[in-house]
Structures are given as C-alpha cells and as structure tokens.
C-alpha cells in the first residue's frame, strides 16, 4: 500500500535554500551529475531536479524523496512560477503522488517523501516519471518539463543518501489530467425513479495550493439545454481520491426517460470564493461514447445498478452539447435543493 509521508499543509518557500549566484551552483551540479545524465535528450532543458532514491527490502517499497529544483523557467507574468511535482511509477499511471505547491519561485525546495509498493522482481520493468507543473488556480496547469528515471535496480543496493540530479526536459502540452469518476445508474420504470450512486473519484486535479482539493459531486438533470433538477454529495476535504457511496435520486416518468440526460460535475469547494469545476462528464441517450453506453446499459437492465468509470473532461466539452430550446417536460422530485 502506498502513502504520502509529508504533511498536506502549505508552507511558504524556504528562502535560505534559494541560490542567487550562478557561480555558486554550477560546480555542485556538475559534480553530482557525473554519470547521472537525464533520459530525455530530444527536448530543451528547463532547469534541474534533485531527489533521493532507495529500495526498502523489508516492505518492498521504492522510497522517493524529492529534494528541490533549480533554474525553472518563469511561467507567470510576475517573472516566477508556482511549481509542484507529480510522480508516477510507470507503466502504472493510475497511482500518482504530488508535492505541495510553492509560490513565486524558480528554485523550490520540496523535501517530500513518497513510497511506491513494488516487488523487487518487478523493479527492472518500471520507470520513475517526474512531471513538473506550474500551478494556476483558474486555468489548466502548465507543464514545465519531465524527467524519466530508468534502471531502478541500480538504486536498490544503495543507501539512498546521495542526491541524484537530472535535467528537466521541456514537455509538450499534455491532455488535461482532471481525474476519473466512478458511479452507478439504476432506473425503476414503474416508480419512475433514477438513482445515481456516486462511488468515488481518483486522481483529481489539485485546485488548492496545498496540492489537494475539497471535492464534491453535483448531478444536474438536463433536457434539451434546460437544467431541471440538481443534487449534490457531501464535501470531502483535502483529497484527490475521495470516496462517497452516496445516492442522488431523481423522479423521472418512464415516458420522459429517453429525453433527458445527466451532467455530472466534480466541484472544488471554496469557503471564501466561488466553487470551481474540476471536471465533468455526461450520460444520456444523446451523450458521446462512454456516456451513451452507460445510459443504454442502464435502460437495458431496469432495477439493476450499472457501474462505470468516466474520464472527467473540461467544462466546454460537456456544456456545448446542451444548448437547445427549452422543452415542456414534467419531472419532479421530493429531494430538490
């Protein structure tokens, strides 16, 4: 089982660690990088990252401590970035960790430790992937660059006390990584009742400076562009992998079930400002791909919960399909907000 060892609390930058003279840092970098060249030689470099690696044989865990980064490019208009790091143990991209966000710095000090559970026999086939991002509260986070570390068996015999330096290779824009949502649909034709059970979400986009979000799920019943009813779950604090197991109920007459769809949004709760959309998905007879398949399976199996995973997408991808004239439809529920 993997877990994060560092505190989720946000702390200010450690100013004493930031180096201001190029003459101070160059000899150190060359000395530590000897024999440790980066993997991605195709792109331009955009700073360096330092970390420790060791393998814990008794618990079968790869222990990664991200130390710091140097000379990152400025992504914001103020001449700085708000960097954080995501790490994966490839080829598995479902399980990931990420550091806290450090504000207004090009030389962030992280000092955060993470553990990946992996048997020693599988270590030779795994790669450690670092993605360095610039945090943006109101838009997609910018990818600064990436580092891939291979030959992890070479590190299994060491003590993990010598810092490893790697060049950060400039990355191309990735598809927005907003997370996935797991829920079930169950329709009772005779009662005219649709139950949406929100089970859990994984790998949600971090919306807060702590590197986490405060997610809840809002389901809206839609007919030809008009939102008729909405329901929402409880809020889960400081997590990117919330579990809910909460039922959201809509009363929909059987004659209307073919004319409606659901927009399901994962939201980040903000006690001060506006709640922000992390990502959305849509299910219904007029939805695309997985959303239509899930709805069709629900209608083909009345009274049986049908569970699917859905990739979250950005708001525009969902709402652009709900802009038709308002219909006349009778949908009522005793659970309205």
Q: pLDDT tens across 86-120, in order?
A: 998 887 766 788 899 999 999 999 999 999 999 98
pLDDT over 50 (residue 6)? no
Amino acid 203: pLDDT: 85
Amino acid 317: pLDDT: 56
Amino acid 290: pLDDT: 85
Amino acid 212: pLDDT: 82
**Mean pLDDT score, 239-257:** 94
pLDDT over 60 (residue 1)? no
Q: In CATH, what class is 47-170?
A: mainly beta
**What are the tens digits of pLDDT across the range 316-332?**
656 554 444 333 443 34
pLDDT over 70 (residue 74)? yes
At 42 the three-state DSSP class reads coil
Q: What is the DSSP letter of 16?
A: G
Q: CA separation (Å) from 251 to 219, 272, 292, 327? A: 13, 33, 20, 17
Amino acid 11: pLDDT: 35
Q: Of how many residues is the chain composed?
A: 337
Q: How does DSSP assign 143-206, residue by residue?
A: EEEEEEE--GGGGTTS-S-S-EEEEEEE-PPPPP---EEEEEEEEETTTTEEEEEEEEEESPPP
CATH number attached to the domain at 179-320: 2.60.40.150
Q: Where does residue 5 fall: left (phi above 0), alpha (psi -120 to 50 degrees), or beta otherwise? A: alpha
Q: What distance in Å separates the CA atoms of residue 136 and residue 207, rounded to the nearest whole number?
A: 8
Q: Considering the entire predicted model, what is its pTM?
A: 0.51
**What are the tens digits of pLDDT across the range 192-207?**
999 999 999 998 888 7
Residues 6+ apart with CB under 8 A from 67: 50, 51, 52, 109, 110, 111, 163
- Residue 124: which pLDDT band, with cuts at 50, 70 and 90? confident
Which residue is it, tokens 């997408």?
A: 313
Sequence spans of domains, the chain = 47-170, 179-320
Q: Please, what is the average pLDDT of the chain?
A: 78
% of the chain beyond a pLDDT of 90:
38
**Mean pLDDT score, 176-184:** 85
């Amino acid at each position: 089982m993997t877990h994060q060892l560092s505190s989720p609390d946000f702390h200010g930058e450690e100013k004493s660690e930031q180096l201001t003279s190029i003459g101070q840092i160059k000899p150190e970098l060359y000395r530590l990088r000897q024999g440790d060249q980066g993997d991605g030689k195709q792109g331009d470099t955009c700073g360096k990252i330092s970390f420790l690696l060791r393998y814990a044989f008794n618990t079968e865990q790869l222990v990664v401590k991200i130390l710091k980064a140097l000379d990152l490019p400025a992504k914001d208009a103020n001449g700085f970035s708000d960097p954080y790091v995501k790490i994966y143990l490839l080829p598995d991209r479902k399980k990931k960790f990420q550091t806290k966000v450090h504000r207004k710095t090009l030389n962030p000090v992280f000092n955060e430790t993470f553990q990946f559970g992996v048997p020693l026999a599988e270590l030779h086939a795994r790669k450690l992937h670092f993605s360095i991002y610039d945090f943006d509260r109101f838009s997609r986070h910018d990818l600064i660059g990436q580092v891939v570390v291979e030959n992890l068996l070479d590190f299994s015999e060491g003590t993990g006390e010598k810092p490893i330096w790697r060049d950060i290779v400039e990355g191309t824009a990735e598809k927005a990584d907003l997370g996935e949502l797991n829920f079930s649909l169950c329709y009772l034709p005779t009662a005219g009742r649709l139950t949406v059970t929100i089970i859990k979400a994984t790998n949600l986009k971090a919306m807060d400076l702590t590197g986490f979000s405060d997610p809840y799920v809002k389901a809206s019943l839609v007919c030809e562009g008009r939102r008729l009813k909405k329901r929402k779950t409880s809020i889960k604090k400081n997590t990117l992998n919330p579990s809910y197991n909460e039922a959201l109920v809509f009363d929909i007459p059987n004659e209307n079930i073919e004319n409606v769809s659901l927009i399901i949004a994962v939201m980040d709760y903000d006690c001060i400002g506006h709640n922000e959309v992390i990502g959305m998905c849509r299910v219904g007879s007029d939805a695309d791909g997985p959303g239509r398949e899930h709805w069709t399976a629900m209608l083909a199996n009345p009274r049986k919960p049908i569970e699917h995973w859905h990739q979250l997408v950005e708001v525009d991808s969902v709402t652009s399909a709900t802009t038709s004239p308002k219909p006349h439809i009778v949908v009522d529920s005793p659970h309205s907000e």
